[in-house]
Chain A
Amino acid sequence: MTAPVLEITNLHKSFGKVEVLKGINLTMQSGDVVSLIGSSGSGKTTLLRCVNLLEDYEDGVVAVAGEQIGYTQRNGRRIRLKEKEIARQRAMTGMVFQHFNLFPHMSAIRNVMLGLIKTRKMRNDEAYATAEGWLDRVGMKDRKNHYPGQLSGGQQQRVAIARAIAMNPALMLFDEVTSALDPELISEVLAVVKDLAFDGMTMLLVTHEMQFAHDVSDTVVFMQDGRIGEEGPPDQLFHSPKSERLKAFLKSSKF
């Protein structure tokens, strides 16, 4: 028995007095593709950010490959891990952001190489070859020496995907990776994500692209006010939603 790639148990998270996640449970096995959908403010981004501890969480457990992220129990008390440990854990997952967040002072290939060299401790030539391979995979090899400022949004996002996945993470997190893009650039990025999904990458993604979620996911999760409102296979969720809330949401997203 291997541990699930992601196991979230009774996760609670508040910003100040406002509780944003109110007891989330979610399990993902290797190769699973799970999409989070739901209206704005329902907590999708926050859930994703708790998985790699960009946000601290107050209660419950987030475990990646059987290891609790961010905290340990000692004498029944919960203590935050040391900075170095957290950095190591963060590298178990890869994240792609809405606004790409490439390092603007580095060329595309340097962006991909940085983590390989500093975190994965690869030699320079090894990192270069790995980075080049992934840039090729996302169709960006011929632009490897371009700087982010010289690339279109769609191209930047594909480099950002290569940067995350080159680290060979157990789990990829995607947060609305196409919503900052012009409509004509969306499909090139979705194609890359789809390609990775069909290749067996385990991924948890937040998206407003319902057709895409339908096509790519094993499970779709509908978030509603910090809770999981409904979850199931895409056909079930999209074609026979149970709750009125989900029906209304799907209608408003023109699915």
Chain B
Amino acid sequence: MDYNFNFAAVWRDFDLLLSGLGLGLILAVVSIAIGCLIGLFLAFGMLSKKRPIRWAATVYVSAFRNTPILVLILFTFFALPELGIRLGKIESFIVTLAVYSGAYLTEVFRSGLVSLPSGLREAGLTIGLTESRTKILITIPVMFRRVLPALGNNFISLFKDTSLAAAIAVPELTFYARKINVETFRVIETWMVASLIYVLACSIIAAILRRIESRLSIPR
């Protein structure tokens, strides 16, 4: 096989790829932020004394964890408008990714919460804090630090999932790569560069997350 590599065509549109990368990062950050709130809420739901609440949280988690993310994206974007809920492409994708990550993060937070010694909560109560203040000041901060590595992994895989937004024409990295591919016919070069950008971005994110982890880690 002799193939003449020509990166010039891809190079010309490199700024598009970078803007796509930027949008992907924003999508991931916003989604995981909302997903964290959903996950935290449902994790406490999973551990609730009230059966219906536990049940509702469990249904949520198994429903969204067992549906392929692409199906969820298409469902939110194409089916919800039929039901009268109209969202823009980007909003629709963020909602999907937030709801989806919420299901995974519920499990992360739940296991983090059950790993805490019960005495931690009780110590909070004995100094006169209410249940909710004990959660905010003690259990959640300690749990959060413990699950930080898992949270980081989730963020990276969520960031990679933003490539699926191309399916509904959200202009992120994969979307632009496909556009460049179609316009220039430089198939190999385009997808090589796109893959490389993903790898590089993920490595940098991982490094940043490790920094945050060690910054927040509890001294011992």
Contacts and interface: CB of A to CB of B under 8 A. Distances in A.
21 contacts: A52-B126, A54-B125, A87-B130, A90-B125, A90-B127, A90-B128, A94-B126, A94-B127, A97-B119, A99-B119, A102-B123, A104-B142, A118-B127, A119-B127, A120-B128, A146-B219, A149-B219, A149-B220, A150-B220, A164-B126, A167-B127
B142 A105 contact: yes
B132 to A, nearest CB: 8
Contacts, number: 76
A164 B219 contact: no
Contacts of A120: 128
Which secondary structure characterizes the binding site on chain B?
A: helix
B129 interface: yes
Contacts of B145: 105
A77 to B, nearest CB: 22
Interface residues of A, number: 31
A118 B219 contact: no
B218 A105 contact: yes
A3 to B, nearest CB: 20
Contacts of B127: 90-91, 94, 114-115, 118-119, 163-164, 167
Nearest to A54: B122
A103 B142 contact: yes
Contact of A87 (B129, B137, B138, B218): B129
Contact of A119 (B122, B129, B131, B219): B129
B119 A88 contact: no
Contact of B120 (A87, A101, A119, A146): A101
- Most A Cβ at <10 Å: residue of B123, B125, B131: B123
A233 to B, nearest CB: 29
A191 B145 CA distance: 35
A147 B126 CA distance: 20
A87 B219 contact: no
Interface residues of B, number: 22
B141 interface: yes
Interface string A206-226: 000000000000000000000
Nearest to B144: A105
A54 B129 CA distance: 13
A125 interface: no
B218 A149 contact: yes
Contacts of A83: 130-131
Contacts of A84: 130
Contacts of B220: 147, 149-150
B133 interface: yes
Contacts of B138: 103
